[in-house]
């Protein structure tokens, strides 16, 4: 079984199990960068 570290603990996870994705990190990555002077110039 694959292993994953959850909350600092090594846990065995069955195949097909969906890990809860951290929403905060996902939002930061998917969120567009803040508008900068260069971005405004292109627009």
Rg of the chain (C-alpha set): 18
Question: In the chain, which ranges are E strands?
Answer: 3-6, 9-12
Q: Which long-range contacts (CB under 8 A, 24 or more apart) does 23-32 make?
A: none
Taking the C-alpha atoms of residue 10 and residue 2, their distance in angstroms, rounded to an integer, is 10
Mean pLDDT for the chain overall: 64
Question: Where are the chain's structural domains?
Answer: 3-42
Give dist(CA 7, CA 20) in Å, integer: 12
What is the structure's pLDDT at 39? 59
Q: Which residue has the higher pLDDT, 7 or 26?
A: 7
What does the pLDDT look like over 21-40, one tens digit per residue?
A: 655 555 555 556 666 666 55
pLDDT value of position 31: 58
């Amino acid at each position: 079984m694959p292993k994953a570290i959850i909350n600092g603990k090594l846990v065995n996870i069955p195949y097909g199990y969906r890990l809860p994705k951290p929403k905060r990190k996902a939002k930061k990555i998917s969120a567009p960068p803040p508008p900068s002077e260069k971005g405004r110039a292109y627009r």
